[in-house]
Structure 1
Amino acid sequence: MADMAIDMRNRFVVAAVFAVLVMLWSPMATDMFGVHLPVPFGLRQDIWALVLSLPVIFYSSAIFFTGAVAALRARTLDMMVLVAVGIGAGWLYSLAITLTGGGEVFYEASTMLATFVLLGHWFEMRARGGANDAIRALLDLAPPKAEVIRDGVPVEVPTAEVVVGDLLLVRPGAKIAVDGVVAEGDSEVDESMVTGESMPVHKEPGSTVIGASLNTNGTLRFRATKVGADTALAQIVELVQQAQNSKAPGQKLADRAAFWLVLVALIGGALTFAVWLLAGASFAKAMLFAITVVVITCPDALGLATPTAIMVGTGLGAKRGVLFKNALALESSARIRTVVMDKTGTLTKGEPEVTDVVTAEGYTADEVLRLVAAVERESEHPLAAAIAHHAETLSGTTQLDAEKFENVPGHGAVAEVDGHRVVVGNRRLLDREHIDLEPLAAHRDRLTDSGHTAVLAAIDGTAAAVIALADAPRETSAAAVAELHDLGIEVVMLTGDNRATAERIAADLGIDTVIAEVLPGDKAAKIAELQRDGRKVAMVGDGVNDAPALAGADLGIAIGAGTDVAIETADLVLMRSDPLDVPTALRIGRGTLRKMHQNLAWAVGYNTIALPIAAGVFVPAFGFTLRPEIAAMSMSGSSVIVALNALSLKRLHLPDQHSSAD
């Protein structure tokens, strides 16, 4: 894009210089500004203008003529055809007049027309280059060099030469070159430039690292697992490029409209020429109006209306870790009215957390947790790990050791801790130990009825506490639901979990509708039911069992930390695994579609008004007419307005980014 913009700039500069010279020696300069310069070398004015126009026609305008030939060979009509006809008709007519003895010529009109069109194209390319900042920024993230350990010694090599299986060294403050798995070391890694995650992520042996992320404080050695085009960064760049190069339904409609507009312009130019001749105008005047009609109705703005908006929208999404796979996904996101969200791993963290500790009379939560945690640290059960972790996070809680540990499969565990016999597990374990639960039975029932998992603890044969655990919502889930409500969108939770648990989560987050206890194979059917009501439905999920629903929804949104099959099936990927990015994506989609409509309305409205003016309809009443060069300036200005309006999408108001809750 940069090379094309430079080439367009060079063509414009040459055209501008020679067009100004043609204008200085033209009758228009004398009539309008009183400038009358002697023609060099004793040449006729029209011959001198012909000589000055040659660089403009054969160098600067060559792209229009080659583009027109390519379009005609493809049996289509585009703006290249119109510009070529406008420039070529005026110049060839003038050439014929010059070679047959002289007369009124349009060299200044043809050269100024080429100049203004080239100026418009140069500005458009610069604007589109600005829309592509996201791609360039992503490509610049990858470090050019990497330290590979060869024979026990770090050797600096180009990143392109790193191969799968290489052991790499990453020092504090250095960028990670490729994707891999940590072999040695501990550190915090800033992955925000790739995933959008605002908080550094702790890395230790076995952790995965992403190429282009920044190692902040420790030294890491990691084994390369993906290099080159297989890295996460390369895949992101490819997704964004595919989206920017794809066509939305609105763009396909604009392309068809542009074809017919070119045809109308050519026919309109021919009719304008014929009508003015029949009205008694001179051949030169009729030709002037015809060229003006052809030039001013160039559908350049119409062709730019949606691609520029798509480029800005996808780039804006990429900067926020929201990856649209194609333009259809971008346009579809603007029309969503119902968002269906999977519960586990999407709205929630997908792992249990302690939510309540209810103690019997005579016990404190800290005291019970110290004893229970000592038992649970000996167990491998996920609930045991959650309780132990919760106890460790409480300030002032010292760790105790368990003795005579006994695991009771399916029931819990028993051990001696600090001289006490501690029993941790379910109701059946307490029954086996002949422990009366009655003081805590009501609390246990209340918690289980509200969707919690209740773990019972007894100390020295007495029921001491009920510890409630649940899959906790992500920190941003409630904010995400609130943002969706602000957009007028209904939020539905779809889960295979029991209704009590689902209802509890939904109540905490403010979700409108709960569809619970759904088998994995039935999720797609539930999506279809919602669609049958005429709603445009988005599905947000992360697992293999979500893939059919993601594929069946009008818009499939995959959480970035989800499975490969979910990400592959979805239309949109949230790299940060943050529910708050769902409303962000929909806002970007709505903003992009709004810019498309604005640009299309401008392009159509401009041509509707400009065509009759260019054809001279208002000349009899007002004496108002346009020359081709003014028409070219107007057409180019219209295209630039469209490009700048698309770029204004960068100022779209989006929700504040939060740290995702992993």
Structure 2
Amino acid sequence: MSATPVQGKSSTQDQSVEPVTFDISGMSCAACASRVERAVTKLDGMDAVVNYATQRAIVFGADPTDADQIIDNIRSAGYDAHLRSDEDADLWTQRANHQRLRQLRIRLIVAALLTIPLMDISIVLALVPKFRFPGWELALLVLSVPVVTWCAWPFHKIALLNLRHRTVTMDTLISLGVAVSFIWAVVTVLFPSVLDGTDAWVGFSWAPDGAQALYLDVAAGVTMFQLAGRYFETRSRRKANQTLDALMQIEAATVRVVTDEGTVEQPVSQLQSGQVFEVRAGESIVADGIITQGSADVDVSAMTGESQPVFLETGASVHSGTVTTNGYIHVEAQQVGGHTRLRQMAQAAEEAQARKSAVERLVDRVVRYFVPGVIALAIISGLAWWIFGQHVSTAVMVAVSVLIIACPCALGLATPTALMMGMGAGASRGILVKGMDALEASGRVDTVVFDKTGTLTTGKMRIIDAVPVDEFSVVDLFAFTAAIERKSNHPLARGVVDAAERLENVAFYNATDIQEIPGRGMVGVVGQQQVLAGTAHLLDDYGVEIPPRDAVDGSEILVAIDGRFAGSIVLGDVIQTGAHQAIAAMRHMGLHTVLLSGDRQNVSEALGRELGIDTVIGDTTPLEKADVVERLQAEGRNVVMVGDGINDSVALSTADLGIAVSQGTQVSLQSADAVLVRSDLLAIPEAVLLSRQTLRTIKQNLFWAFAYNTGAIPIAVAGLLNPLISTLAMALSSTLVISNSMRLARFDPRRTISRALRSASQIRQTNPNESTQKP
């Protein structure tokens, strides 16, 4: 990452230090996550980011040897923690989630079995005096005790913990509401005279004369509804979190290694680079490598999002986490263990929560001050009602309503659940986003800057033209040039050699004294003739006269044989699959496209015209690429940079969002905020559409959460909300936010892109003279 923070990127943690991940249990709201963060940051040199939605903490400045000390601090704050490792992380998490759900379910069942009859009986007896029997108040009181104590214990436990640490959370509001309601009910049972002169309050209206309110139904009802909301919230959150955890679940546990004596089955963790292993039909490939024998149809959907299996044969690359649907292959392992693409994806997905979005940080600050403000407002509201002549029982219920209705649970879930689902949806489509802030930034971009070679083009060259002069022929050009270019790894040289091998009547000469001159070309001797193949500077250096010729839109190799100019071979880049559709889709989405290349201006412009790119800038150095990005940002643009090489790393870090293609160098992958796991460039507009939909979902969630709290609190203060209605509305609010976020799993950006491309095609057919390309 760049040294100077840019918009959309978090710089609070040192990304160069390997973080340590912990699973946390016992957190019930966003404020709990803040307390865990503070507990860890008390340790010297450590910083932590805790995500309430994923129930995980990432600690910076620590190593696994500090785990016990970190766990002790977290436990002293009232929560449990476990060092997350590949071997037992999922088992511990599943056990903790299962135990939490089981406890919530049991408490909810008990609360429902006691509360439902309690509410029915108490309302009937309170409103109809003739049905009352001696000691009816005491009987109802005894029935409610298990609900407001044991069933509500999770809320009371956190509230007591808060009191010890002199902090408050949403559980404090719930515990206070239950406790105040129950204590007031006990007071009314022991001292009935306190109710003299007041009426029972049911729902939105006052009960008839003679009615008597105990408020036990409020204490028990709040507990039952809160437990129900917490239970369904926990279930939904666990389901949402499985989207990212699924990356590691597709990895096999054992592998069959091919040896001279046969195959030996062993744990995947013991597989080493260079070993050959076999994969049968229906089995998962456990390492990145090369097929050395056989062929198979491979399901790559888990890695790239492609729906159809891909046929691969000897020499093709395969990746860990993909599955053969048929066939039989031998694979030579190249990247194993933590170095496979699958593990890197899983690690990036795991660490993505360490970079909070700007919206999340804002919500954290709001929640931190909102809860104590609500408690103060509840006390002031109750006192105001009492001071201005209302009965104390009415004042108590107003205060309880304010406490319950104001619980900002939905506010704490609005952003992380949507971002988590958005990241999971991206991962399933071959778009790996490294941080929640990056996902947020990608939804705001309006300009997409592309590197050329390796990004828009494959890096392989195709022959555009061959122009011999004088007595030389096309066959002569390719035969002599290929003879000396065979020793070079330059893309232009490989393009010439590949083309020569496909031509008929081309004799492959043996060359001697081959010399590669960096930046100039190749020199060699074929038979008794010196052959030059390269730039005009190379031919000038050897005194070869070059006749005037027209400029070409491509990379040109000038050829001289035995001191005479023999002609030129013009090559062009092979455009990546889906590049035309990707650029068209982005233009239709209103994105400004820029081609930023180190290649010559005329070559870059030719590619830009073919693809329909808005702005083309060639002849740029790596630092100049970053300067161009900064200039675009200075113009007020939100820039995404797409690249693959070391020369793109500075620009990737400078942009608001850096996207690296998966075939890129390790430096570019580390510098980027997102990685395209699949080679299809349509993943870029898909990522932007998914990000926009995620931001739209976040705004919907936040609107509902803020509107709910800000709109409901005045109603509660005005005495128009029964606490039971308040707690039911609060539980439904959290459920609505989670359900809205989970809709992202069903969002398919490909449909939107297909409609856009069909629409653009129809427009071109209707207006054939209208060009969609800009010079």
Where does residue 52 of structure 2 map in the other structure? none
How many residue pairs get aligned? The number is: 625
Q: Aligned-pair distance for 1:117?
A: 1.6
- Are residue 634 (structure 1) and residue 729 (structure 2) matched? yes
Shift of 1:303: 1.0
Task: Give the SS at the match of 1:345.
Answer: coil
* Aligned partner letter, 2:330: L
2:455 alignment counterpart: 346
Name the counterpart of 1:270. Answer: 379
Instruction: Give the Cα–Cα distance (whole angstroms) in 1 for the partners of residues 558 and 297 of structure 2.
Output: 34
**Cα distance, 1:190 vs structure 2:** 4.0
Q: Which moved more, 1:96-105 or 1:301-310?
A: 96-105
Aligned partner of 1:193 in structure 2 is 302
Q: Which amino acid letter does the alignment assign opposite residue 347 of structure 2?
A: E
Q: For residues 126 and 184 of structure 2, what CA distance do their matches in structure 1 show? A: 22
1:32-71 map, 5 Å: 44-71=135-162
Which runs of structure 2 are paired with 1:255-294 in the superposition (5 Å)? 255-294=364-403
Describe the shift of the 1:242–1:53 C-alpha distance in structure 2 as closer, same or farther (beyond 3 A). Answer: farther
Counterpart among 68, 72, 80 of residue 171 in structure 2? 80
Return closer, same or farther for 1:259/1:124 CA change in 2, 3 Å cut-off. Answer: same
Cα 1:454–1:193 change in 2 (3 A) is same
Q: State the one-letter code of the partner of 1:200.
A: V
Contact 1:337 1:490 in 2 (8 A): yes
Amino acid at match of 2:310: P
**Alpha-carbon distance between aligned partners in 2 of 1:466 and 1:300, rounded to the nearest angstrom:** 70
Whole-angstrom distance in 1 between the partners of 2:240 and 2:394: 42
Find out whether 1:309 has 2:423 as its counterpart.
no
TM-fit CA distance, 1:291: 0.7
Question: Structure 1 residue 336: deviation in Å?
Answer: 1.5
Counterpart mapping for 1:282-431 below 5 A: 282-356=391-465, 372=478, 376=482, 379-380=485-486, 381=488, 382-383=491-492, 385-387=494-496, 389-390=498-499, 402=508, 410=521
Equivalent-residue separation in structure 1 for 2:571 and 2:309 (angstroms) = 26
Cα distance, 1:401–1:613 mapped onto 2, change above 3 Å: same
Does 2:712 match 1:610?
Answer: yes
Separation in 1 of the partners of 2:357 and 2:437? Answer: 5
Aligned twin of 1:222: 332
* DSSP-derived class of the 2:407 partner: coil
Q: Show the counterpart of 2:183.
A: 92
Shift of 1:564: 1.0
Residues 115 and 390 of structure 1: is their aligned pair in 2 closer, same or farther, counting only changes over 3 Å?
farther
Q: Describe the superposition over 1:162-196 as per-residue Cα deviations: whole angstroms up to 9, x where unpaired.
A: 46665432234421123445565565644332244
Does the alignment pair 1:178 with 2:287?
yes
In the alignment, the residues of structure 2 paired with residue 199 and residue 649 of structure 1 have an alpha-carbon distance, to the nearest angstrom, of: 25
Q: Percent identity?
A: 33
Distance 1:351 1:167, change over 3 A: closer
CA distance in 2, matches of 1:361, 1:218: 55
Cα distance, 1:518–1:362 mapped onto 2, change above 3 Å: closer
Q: 1:513 matched to which residue of 2?
A: 615
Shift of 1:563: 1.0
1:14 to 2:110 alignment: yes
Q: Secondary structure at the match of 2:695?
A: helix
SS in 2 for 1:280: coil
Q: What is the CA-CA distance between 1:374 and the residue it aligns to?
A: 10
Change in 2 beyond 3 A, CA 1:19/1:655? same
Give, in angstroms, the shift of residue 588 of structure 1. Answer: 1.8
Return closer, same or farther for 1:375/1:295 CA change in 2, 3 Å cut-off.
same
Name the counterpart of 2:689. 587
The residue aligned with 2:223 is: 114
Between 342-351 and 188-197, report the one with greater CA deviation. 188-197
- Report SS of the residue matched to 1:219: strand
Q: Report how far residue 36 of structure 1 moved.
A: 9.2
Q: Give the counterpart letter for 2:110 in structure 1.
A: V
Distance 1:230 1:384 in 2: 32
Normalising by structure 2, we get a TM-score of 0.72
Hey, what's the Cα distance between the residues in 2 that align with 1:401 and 1:37?
111
> Unpaired segments of 5 or more residues in structure 1?
618-624
- From the superposition, tell whether residues 374 and 8 of structure 1 become closer, same or farther in structure 2 (CA, over 3 Å): farther
Amino acid at match of 1:629: L
- Contact map agreement 1:25 1:36 (CA 8 A) in 2: no
Q: Matched residues in 1 for 2:379 and 2:246: separation?
A: 48
What amino acid sits opposite 2:237 in the alignment?
A: R
**Contact in 1 for aligned 2:462/2:495 (Cα 8 Å):** yes
Structure 1, residues 128-176: CA drift from partner, whole Å, max 9, x if none? 2332342243222112332234672323344355466654322344211
Residue in 1 that maps onto 2:243: 134
In structure 1, distance between residues paired with 2:667 and 2:535 = 40
2:556 paired residue number: 453
**Counterpart-to-counterpart distance in 1, 2:331 and 2:368:** 58
Deviation at 1:456, TM superposition (A): 6.6
3-state DSSP class of the match of 1:612?
Answer: helix
Secondary structure of 1:331 counterpart: helix
Which residue in the other structure is 1:620 paired with? none
The residue type equivalent to 1:452 in the other structure is S
Shift of the 154–325 alpha-carbon distance from structure 1 to 2, 3 Å rule, reads: same
Q: Distance in 1 between matches of 2:227 and 2:597?
A: 57
* SS of equivalent residue, structure 2 residue 454: helix
Question: Bigger CA drift: 309-318 or 45-54?
Answer: 45-54
Q: Deviations over 1:61-98 (max 9, x none)?
A: 22112222344455443211111111121122223444
- 1:120 CA drift (Å): 1.8
Rounded Cα–Cα distance in structure 2 between residues aligned with 1:280 and 1:430: 103
TM alignment of 1:528-539, pairs within 5 A? 528-539=630-641
- What is the aligned partner in structure 2 of residue 253 from structure 1? 362
What is the Cα-based RMSD across aligned positions, in Å? 3.9
- Amino acid corresponding to residue 113 of structure 2 in structure 1: V
Matches within 5 A, 1:409-488: 410=521, 445-447=550-552, 450-453=553-556, 467-488=569-590
CA distance in 2, matches of 1:334, 1:111: 44
- Name the counterpart of 2:750: 655
1:166 and 1:60 map into 2 onto residues whose CA distance is 57
Match of 1:352, SS? Answer: strand
Please state if 1:105 is matched with 2:214: yes
Residues 1:168 and 1:46: Cα distance change in structure 2 (over 3 Å): farther
Aligned pair in 2 of structure 1 residues 426, 273: CA closer, same or farther (>3 Å)? closer
1:569 aligned residue (649, 666, 671): 671
Which residue identity lines up with residue 461 of structure 2 in the other structure? P
Contact 2:469 2:565 in 1 (8 A): no
Q: Distance in 1 between matches of 2:259 and 2:495?
A: 42
- Distance (Å, rounded) in 2 between the aligned partners of 1:519 and 1:346: 16
Give the counterpart letter for 1:14 in structure 2: V
How much does 1:306 deviate?
0.5
Deviations 1:86-139 (A, max 9, x none): 112112222344455797422211111111122222222233233234224322
Note closer, same or farther for the CA distance 1:186–1:252 as it changes in structure 2 (3 Å cut): same
From 627, 631, 646, the counterpart of 2:741: 646
Q: 1:295 Cα shift?
A: 0.5
Code of the aligned partner of 1:59: W
- Deviation string 1:403-453 (CA, Å, 9 cap, x unpaired) is 66678765688989xxxx9x9957999999xx9999xx85xx243xx2332
Contact 1:375 1:405 in 2 (8 A): no
The gaps in structure 2 that reach 5 residues or longer are: 1-93, 196-212, 516-520, 755-775
Question: Residue 343 of structure 1: SS of its match in structure 2?
Answer: coil
Counterpart position of 1:622: none
